[in-house]
Amino acid sequence: MVLKTTFTNKLGGILMGLTYRAAVLLGNNGYGELDLWVTHATSLGERQKGLLGDSVLPPERGLLLTPCSQIHTVGMAFPIDVIYLSSEGYILDMDTPVEPGKWGLPRDGCEHCLELSAGRARRLGLLPGMRLGFSPIRTPMPLKRHRAIK
């Protein structure tokens, strides 16, 4: 399987609401698949909603916000890891974990924010300077919403 990075300045080829398999891109067209499926949020409404109202983010799932250079967890029920990505998919910085009720600072050069369950970035071995790519899966899998019970 050839993993083609879909990161361009406009993330050409990535469609809103679809799910993508994530991979760490290595030199010379190599890659290492991650046990991570990412839903892409591009509309203003999707980005504003983010993970609000969910009670959990399964460890194998993530939410990619585009465009985005800053996040908040105000109103969220659980902590998350935040990966700040350049337009080419390079990890610029990471906040791990971000507790509910916090505001992140904007990151220079950041075009995308990837939200993961707390501790997931470490378990995946992600580090600043690595490059992530995303490949569409055959069947779109919307991010299953986990509603908090009131």
In angstroms, the CA 94 to CA 66 distance is 16
Is 109 part of a structural domain of the chain?
yes
Is 3 part of a structural domain of the chain?
no
Is 11 part of a structural domain of the chain?
no
Is 108 part of a structural domain of the chain?
yes
Query: Quick one: pLDDT at residue 136?
Result: 75
**Cα 91–Cα 72–Cα 75 angle in degrees, nearest 5:** 140
Is 129 part of a structural domain of the chain?
yes
Query: Quick one: pLDDT at residue 148?
Result: 40
* Per-residue pLDDT tens listing for the chain (150 residues): 233 334 433 343 444 466 777 877 766 666 788 888 898 898 898 888 889 888 899 999 999 999 999 999 999 999 999 999 999 999 999 999 999 999 999 999 999 999 999 999 999 999 999 999 888 765 444 444 444 433
Is 2 part of a structural domain of the chain?
no
Positive or negative: CA dihedral 80, 34, 111, 96: positive
Structural Rg of the chain based on CA atoms? 14
Question: The CATH number of the domain where 114 resides is what?
Answer: 2.60.120.1140
Domain residue limits at 107:
19-136
Other C-beta atoms closer than 10 Å to the C-beta of 68 total 22
Torsion of CA 129, 70, 40, 73, to 10 degrees: 120
**Cα 148–Cα 77–Cα 71 angle in degrees, nearest 5:** 125
Count Cα neighbours of 114 within 13 Å in the Cβ-side half-sphere: 30
Query: Quick one: pLDDT at residue 24?
Result: 78
Is 80 part of a structural domain of the chain?
yes
DSSP 8-state assignment for residue 106: P
Query: Quick one: pLDDT at residue 32?
Result: 81
What is the pTM assigned to this prediction?
A: 0.79
In angstroms, the CA 73 to CA 86 distance is 21
Is 87 part of a structural domain of the chain?
yes
In angstroms, the CA 90 to CA 50 distance is 22
Total domains in the chain come to 1
